[in-house]
Chains A and B, each alone.
Chain A
Amino acid sequence: MNATLEQASSAASLVGKIALITGATSTYGIGRVSARAMAMAGAFVYVTSRDPQRGAAVVAEIEADGGKSAFLRLDVTIEEEWAAATDQVRKQFGRLDILVNNAGNLVNGPIEDMPLEDVRYMVRLNMEGPFLGMTYAWPLMKDSGGVIMDINSTGGQGGSFGSSAYGGSKGGMLGTTKAAAIDGRQYGIRAISIHPGGTWTPGMERVTGLTEEQYKRGIREKRSIPLLRPAESADVAAAVVYFASDEARNVNGIEYNIDGGSSAG
Chain B
Amino acid sequence: MAVLNNKVCLLLAEDNTLSRAVVKTLTNAGADVTSLAILEVTEKAWQVGLLDSSARPPKIDVIINDCIPRSGGAVGTATLKDYRSVIEASYVRTYLALKYGIQALRASGGGAFINVTSADGVYGAANAAPRCSAANGIMQLTRATAIECAATEDNVRVNALLVGDIIQSDQLKYAPGHVSPNDVAEAVAHLAADAAVYITGLLMHVDNGGGLAL
A interface, CB within 8 angstroms of B: 1-3, 7-8, 10-13, 178, 181-182, 185, 188, 190, 226-228, 231-232, 235, 238, 241-242, 247-254, 256-265
Contacts and interface: CB of A to CB of B under 8 A. Distances in A.
B199 A264 contact: no
A188 B171 CA distance: 14
Contacts of A227: 150, 198, 200
A7 B3 contact: yes
Contacts of A261: 143, 146-147, 150, 200-201
B195 A247 contact: no
B209 to A, nearest CB: 4
B153 interface: yes
Nearest to A256: B204
Contact of A226 (B176, B187, B193, B200): B200
22 contacts: A2-B198, A3-B195, A3-B198, A8-B195, A11-B195, A226-B151, A228-B153, A235-B197, A247-B1, A247-B2, A250-B178, A250-B179, A250-B183, A251-B187, A251-B204, A253-B211, A254-B204, A256-B204, A257-B201, A260-B150, A261-B147, A264-B147
A12 B198 contact: no
Given A7-B193, A242-B190, A250-B174, A264 B200 contact: yes
Contacts of A262: 201
B214 interface: yes
Contacts of B180: 250
Given A11-B193, A264-B142, 18 more contacts: A3-B194, A3-B195, A3-B196, A3-B197, A12-B190, A185-B176, A188-B173, A226-B147, A238-B196, A241-B195, A249-B183, A251-B187, A253-B205, A256-B204, A257-B201, A258-B199, A259-B201, A260-B150
A100 B123 CA distance: 28
Contacts of A241: 195
Contacts of B209: 181-182, 185, 190, 252-254
Interface in B98-138: none
A156 to B, nearest CB: 16
Contacts of B206: 250-251
Contacts of A257: 199, 201-202
Nearest to B205: A254
A253 B81 CA distance: 37
Contacts of B153: 228
Contacts of A190: 209
Contacts of B151: 226
B143 A251 contact: no
A242 B206 CA distance: 13
B32 interface: no
Nearest to B175: A185
A20 B196 CA distance: 23
A260 B153 CA distance: 12
Interface centre among A188, A254, A262 (most CB of B within 10 A): A254
Contacts of B143: 261, 264-265
Interface string B72-93: 0000000000000000000000
Contact of A10 (B3, B150, B214): B3
A256 to B, nearest CB: 6
B123 to A, nearest CB: 12
B151 to A, nearest CB: 7
Contact of B150 (A3, A228, A235, A263): A228
Contacts of B199: 235, 257-258
